[in-house]
Amino acid sequence: MDRDEIKGKFEKGKGKVKEKAGEIMNDPDLEASGEADQIKGEVQEGFGTAKRKTKETVDELTDDED
């Protein structure tokens, strides 16, 4: 798993906690911040997945040449 995938998953989890806390405390700003963190985490995780898959593909192609 790529470092960005891990960081993205953490960011999504943090966002979910903030969103729920905002709902419970009736704080729309905290809730919105949590939603934004989740989106940021989703993007970062997707970037990490793309990097990992690209590296795996390059590794496969270079292994085939040997």
Name the domain count of the chain. Answer: 1
| Cα–Cα distance for residue pair 45/40, rounded to 1 Å | 9
Residue at 7: amino acid letter: K
Domain for residue 7, yes or no?
yes
Domain for residue 16, yes or no?
yes
Domain for residue 64, yes or no?
no
Crossing angle, helix 28-65 and helix 3-24, to 10 degrees?
160
Domain for residue 44, yes or no?
yes
Residue 16 tokens, joined: 């979910």
Domain for residue 40, yes or no?
yes
Domain for residue 66, yes or no?
no
Residue 4 in contact with residue 53, Cβ under 8 Å? no
Domain for residue 60, yes or no?
no
Domain span at residue 14 reads: 3-55
Domain for residue 32, yes or no?
yes
- The model's pTM: 0.85
Give tens-digit pLDDT for 9-65. 999 999 999 999 999 999 999 999 999 999 999 999 999 999 999 999 999 999 876
Residue 39 tokens, joined: 């989106």
